[in-house]
A and B are shown apart, each in its own frame.
Chain A
C-alpha cells in the first residue's frame, strides 16, 4: 500500500492522539501521577515560601555572661539587646551555664564581660572582652558572630567618646576621630541580604526538576514493569517516536504549567527580584524542565529496570542541589567534583538565574548554559534505540 503524504501525516496524528488518550486514562486511574506532580509542587512551594519569615536571620538568641555587674556592663547588655540581629536569651554570671545553653542548642553565641571590666577600662588597663560562637549551626552562628564583633568594637568607640567628651570636645569633632574609616557594604542584586531570594528561587525549580525526572522515569518504566509496552507501541502504530510523543505530551503540559506557575509565584507574587530579562529567565526554566525530562528518558533508557532508574535518578537529582553551587560555591569544590557539577541541569539553570535575575547580564552570558541544557535533550535521542529494544523485547529484569 502506498499512502499520500497527507494521509501519512493524518495517520501519525491519529496515532499520537490514540497514545495520548490511553495515557490520560492511565494517569487518571491512579492518584500517584497527580499527587507526585501537582501535589508535591504545591506543597513544596507553600512550604518554602512560608518557611523563611522575612528571609534574613534576626533575633538570634545569644547569652551575655556579665561578670562585671556595673552600670556600664548593664548598658552594654541593653544596647546589644536593642540591635535587630541578636536577642539576649540569657544574662548570667556563670560561664558554664552559658556554655551549657549553647550545647543544648538554645543560643548561638556567648558574650563575656570580665570581672572588674569598668574599673580596668577607666584606668586604661585594657580589659578584654571574650566572645564565643558555635559553628555547629552556621547561619545562627554567623549572625551572632557579626553582631558580637560589632558590639566589641562599639565598646571601644563608646569609651573613646566618653574620654574625649570629658576633654571638652564637641561630638561632631569626636565622631570622625573615632570612626575615621568606614566600609559601605553593597549587596549586589539582593540589598536586603535575603536568604530566601537565592535559596528558594533555586530550590523550587530544583524540586520541579526532580518531579520531571522521577515522573518521566516512572511513566515509561511502568510500561516495562507492567509488561504493557507492547500495547503502548501498538497504539502508536508500532512507531517509537509516535509512542514517546503521545505519552509525554500530557506530562510535559503538567510540567510546563507547574513551571510557569512557580515562576509567576516566585517573581511576581513573592516579589523576588529579576533585574534582567523575564523572557530569557522563563525560557531558561522551560529548557531546564525539558532537560530534566530528557534526563529521565536517558535514565530509563540506560537502566530499563524501573527500580534502578528511579534509584539512580533520585541520587543524581538530589546531588544536583549540592552540585549546583547555590549554597556552597563551585569554586570551593575539588576538581573532579567540579567536573561532575556540569552534568547537573540544575547547575546550568542556576547560572542562567544568576545572569538574568541578579546580574542583568547580556544574553550571550547565558548562551553556554542554554546550549548545555539542550545537550541533555540530544542525549535522550541517543538512548532511543536501546529503549526501543527494551520496550519490544523486555530484555531486562522486572524487579
Chain B
C-alpha cells in the first residue's frame, strides 16, 4: 500500500478494509447497531400499560361502592375482571397471577359514608412484581377516590347547614392542573429508548474495537504507532458518525418518540461523544488478547453503565463513589446530554433565556475524549515497547 504518502492515511484505509473484510466486526458495527434499536422499539411498542386485571371484593355491596367501581373501571389503566366473595378467593387469584391487584370494600363502607363523622376505607392490594402495575392501579384509583370524595364532602357540608354554593367553593377552593412537560404522551418506551440508542453506540463500538484489537493480537498483526492510533480512530469515527446520525437524529423521528432537539445540536453532540467512546474503547482493547474475549468479559458492562449513569435509577439515589466513577464513562455524559436535547428540548447553540444548555455535558465529553486520547497514546507506547521486546 505504498500509494499513500502519509502513514496516517494508510492506517486509516487499512483499518476500514479490516473492518469491512471481517464479518464479525461488520455484524457488530453495522448489523447489531441498526437491528438493536428496531428490536427495542418493537419491545416497548405500547407506551402505557393498560387494562391491568384487578379483582373486586365488595363486602358492603352498596350503591356507593358500585358507583366507585363503575367510575374506576372506566379508567384505561385497569380492568375489573373478577368479582370475589371473600379476600381469600381474591388472594388466590393474585397468587395465580390472574389479577395484579385487589380492591376491597369493608362491610361498613356505606355506613361510614352515611355517618357525617365517619371515615370510609378502601383497601388496595398491589402486585409488586412490577412497579408499573402499582403505578397503573394506585394512581387511577387515587384519582377516582379524590373525585368521589369531593361529592361526599359537599353533601356533608350541606348537612352542616352550609349553602351549596359555599360548600362547592370550599371543596374546590384550590383546583390544580398537572402537566407532563416536554413529553406529554411519553410512556416507558419514550423514556428508555433514547437512553438505549446512546448505549447501543457505546457498546457496539467497545465490542467491535476490542474484537479488532484482539484479532490483530492473535494474528501478530499489531501496530501501535501513533499514526495507527489516529487512523484506527478515524476509520471508526467515519463509520459511526453516519450510524449515530441515523440512531440519534433519524430514529426518534421514525419511531415517533420525543424528538424536541434540533438536528445540528444532535450532530454537534455526536462528535465529542464518539471520540470519547472510541479512545475509551481503544484503551480497553490494549488489554484484550483474543478476538472474542472482549465480548465475553465486557458484556455485562452494558447493564452496569446503564444503571451507573443514573437513568433508570435516579442519579440522586446513587452512592457518591459510583457517581464519581460514572463520570469517567462517556456513556454517562452522552446519555444525559442526548436526553436533555432530544426529550426535553435543551440545546447547545440555540440557547436563550428559555432553553437550557447542554454545554457542561458537551465540555465533559471533550475532556474525556482528550483524556482517553492521551491515555491511549501512553498505552499504545507501552504496548509497542513490549511487542518489540518480544520480537
CB distance from A306 to the nearest CB of B (A): 5
**Other-chain residue from A54, A139, A145, A180 in contact with B153 (beta carbon distance below 8 A):** A180
Residue contact A47 to B322, C-beta cutoff 8 Å:
yes
Bitwise, A35-62 to B at CB < 8 A (1) or not (0) is 1100010011001101111100111110
Residue contact B293 to A329, C-beta cutoff 8 Å:
no
Q: Determine the chain A residues whose CB is within 8 A of the CB of B367 once the complex forms.
A: none
Most buried by A among B187, B313, B322: B313
| A51 in contact with B303 given A32-B290, A124-B170, A181-B122 (CB within 8 Å) | no
Q: With an 8 A cutoff between CB atoms, is A1 at the interface?
A: no
**Other-chain residue from A48, A60, A131, A181 in contact with B113 (beta carbon distance below 8 A):** A181
Residue contact B303 to A177, C-beta cutoff 8 Å:
no
Q: Determine the chain A residues whose CB is within 8 A of the CB of B187 once the complex forms.
A: 135
Q: Determine the chain B residues whose CB is within 8 A of the CB of A156 once the complex forms.
A: 171-174
**CA separation between A57 and B22, bound complex, in Å?**
46
CB distance from B354 to the nearest CB of A (A): 5
Q: With an 8 A cutoff between CB atoms, is B372 at the interface?
A: no
Residue contact B314 to A139, C-beta cutoff 8 Å:
yes
Residue contact B32 to A159, C-beta cutoff 8 Å:
no
**Other-chain residue from A134, A137, A141, A180 in contact with B152 (beta carbon distance below 8 A):** A180
**Other-chain residue from A32, A104, A203 in contact with B346 (beta carbon distance below 8 A):** A104
Q: Determine the chain B residues whose CB is within 8 A of the CB of A179 once the complex forms.
A: 119, 149
| A132 in contact with B190 given A103-B346, A311-B295 (CB within 8 Å) | no
Q: Determine the chain A residues whose CB is within 8 A of the CB of B292 once the complex forms.
A: 218, 221-222, 225, 306-307, 310
| A361 in contact with B355 given A188-B125, A198-B129, A307-B291 (CB within 8 Å) | no
**Other-chain residue from B44, B113, B173, B258 in contact with A180 (beta carbon distance below 8 A):** B113
Residue contact A159 to B173, C-beta cutoff 8 Å:
yes
Considering only residues 23-42 of chain B, those with a C-beta below 8 Å from chain A are 23-24, 27-28, 32, 36, 39-40, 42
Residue contact A137 to B295, C-beta cutoff 8 Å:
no
Residue contact A214 to B122, C-beta cutoff 8 Å:
no
Q: With an 8 A cutoff between CB atoms, is A332 at the interface?
A: yes
Q: Determine the chain B residues whose CB is within 8 A of the CB of A193 once the complex forms.
A: 128, 134
Q: Determine the chain A residues whose CB is within 8 A of the CB of B139 once the complex forms.
A: 146
**CA separation between A358 and B176, bound complex, in Å?**
37
Bitwise, B141-154 to A at CB < 8 A (1) or not (0) is 11001101100110
**Other-chain residue from B36, B153, B190, B316 in contact with A177 (beta carbon distance below 8 A):** B153
Q: With an 8 A cutoff between CB atoms, is B130 at the interface?
A: yes
| A187 in contact with B181 given A102-B344, A176-B119, A359-B95 (CB within 8 Å) | no
Residue contact A105 to B336, C-beta cutoff 8 Å:
yes
Q: With an 8 A cutoff between CB atoms, is A228 at the interface?
A: no
Q: Determine the chain B residues whose CB is within 8 A of the CB of A210 once the complex forms.
A: 299-300
Closest to A399 in B: B24
CB distance from B290 to the nearest CB of A (A): 7
Considering only residues 371-393 of chain A, those with a C-beta below 8 Å from chain B are none
Q: Determine the chain A residues whose CB is within 8 A of the CB of B371 once the complex forms.
A: none
**CA separation between A243 and B304, bound complex, in Å?**
35
CB distance from A84 to the nearest CB of B (A): 13
**Other-chain residue from A52, A153, A214, A325 in contact with B146 (beta carbon distance below 8 A):** A153
Q: With an 8 A cutoff between CB atoms, is B123 at the interface?
A: yes
| Interface stretch of the complex, out of A12-20, A231-239, A246-254, A316-324 | A316-324
Residue contact B339 to A105, C-beta cutoff 8 Å:
yes
Closest to B357 in A: A104
**CA separation between A211 and B97, bound complex, in Å?**
30
| Interface stretch of the complex, out of A93-101, A259-267, A283-291 | A93-101
Q: Determine the chain B residues whose CB is within 8 A of the CB of A142 once the complex forms.
A: 135
| Total contacting residues, chain B, CB less than 8 A | 122
Q: With an 8 A cutoff between CB atoms, is A396 at the interface?
A: no
**CA separation between A315 and B312, bound complex, in Å?**
20
Bitwise, B299-328 to A at CB < 8 A (1) or not (0) is 110111001100111111111001000000
Q: Determine the chain B residues whose CB is within 8 A of the CB of A35 once the complex forms.
A: 297
Q: With an 8 A cutoff between CB atoms, is B265 at the interface?
A: no
Q: Determine the chain B residues whose CB is within 8 A of the CB of A358 once the complex forms.
A: 127-129
Q: With an 8 A cutoff between CB atoms, is A9 at the interface?
A: no
Bitwise, B6-24 to A at CB < 8 A (1) or not (0) is 0000000000000000111
| A187 in contact with B134 given A311-B32, A399-B22 (CB within 8 Å) | yes
Q: Determine the chain A residues whose CB is within 8 A of the CB of B291 once the complex forms.
A: 306-307, 399
Residue contact A180 to B118, C-beta cutoff 8 Å:
yes
**Other-chain residue from B50, B173, B258 in contact with A121 (beta carbon distance below 8 A):** B173
**Other-chain residue from A96, A135, A333 in contact with B182 (beta carbon distance below 8 A):** A135
CB distance from A300 to the nearest CB of B (A): 12
**CA separation between A183 and B123, bound complex, in Å?**
6
CB distance from A247 to the nearest CB of B (A): 16
Residue contact A332 to B46, C-beta cutoff 8 Å:
yes
Closest to A97 in B: B353
Residue contact B178 to A133, C-beta cutoff 8 Å:
yes
Q: Determine the chain B residues whose CB is within 8 A of the CB of A59 once the complex forms.
A: 316
Residue contact A124 to B119, C-beta cutoff 8 Å:
no
Q: With an 8 A cutoff between CB atoms, is B183 at the interface?
A: yes
Residue contact B174 to A214, C-beta cutoff 8 Å:
no
CB distance from B355 to the nearest CB of A (A): 7
**CA separation between A128 and B137, bound complex, in Å?**
27
**CA separation between A126 and B125, bound complex, in Å?**
35
Q: Determine the chain A residues whose CB is within 8 A of the CB of B209 once the complex forms.
A: none
**Other-chain residue from B23, B95, B123, B340 in contact with A186 (beta carbon distance below 8 A):** B123
Residue contact A365 to B96, C-beta cutoff 8 Å:
yes
Q: Determine the chain A residues whose CB is within 8 A of the CB of B97 once the complex forms.
A: 351, 354-355, 359, 365
**Other-chain residue from A32, A323, A326 in contact with B130 (beta carbon distance below 8 A):** A326
Residue contact A152 to B176, C-beta cutoff 8 Å:
yes
Residue contact A334 to B42, C-beta cutoff 8 Å:
yes
Q: With an 8 A cutoff between CB atoms, is B226 at the interface?
A: no
Closest to B307 in A: A51
Q: Determine the chain B residues whose CB is within 8 A of the CB of A88 once the complex forms.
A: none
Q: With an 8 A cutoff between CB atoms, is B43 at the interface?
A: yes
Bitwise, A136-164 to B at CB < 8 A (1) or not (0) is 11111111011011001101100110010
Q: With an 8 A cutoff between CB atoms, is A292 at the interface?
A: no
Q: With an 8 A cutoff between CB atoms, is B383 at the interface?
A: no
| A52 in contact with B313 given A134-B183, A186-B124, A186-B126 (CB within 8 Å) | yes
Q: Determine the chain B residues whose CB is within 8 A of the CB of A351 once the complex forms.
A: 97
**CA separation between A361 and B149, bound complex, in Å?**
36
Residue contact B339 to A136, C-beta cutoff 8 Å:
yes
Q: With an 8 A cutoff between CB atoms, is A257 at the interface?
A: no
* 9 cross-chain CB contacts under 8 A: A48-B307, A104-B357, A135-B343, A153-B146, A159-B173, A181-B120, A193-B134, A310-B296, A336-B42
Give me the interface of B with A, judged by CB distance under 8 Å.
Answer: 22-24, 27-28, 32, 36, 39-40, 42-46, 48-52, 94-97, 113, 116-135, 138-139, 141-142, 145-146, 148-149, 152-153, 156-157, 160, 166, 169-183, 186-188, 190-192, 194, 211, 215, 258, 289-293, 295-297, 299-300, 302-304, 307-308, 311-319, 322, 336, 339-340, 343-346, 353-358, 360
| Apart from the given pairs A132-B181, A329-B49, 15 other A-B contacts in the complex at a CB distance below 8 Å | A53-B317, A102-B344, A110-B181, A130-B176, A130-B178, A132-B178, A135-B183, A180-B149, A181-B120, A188-B94, A319-B39, A322-B43, A337-B43, A359-B95, A361-B96
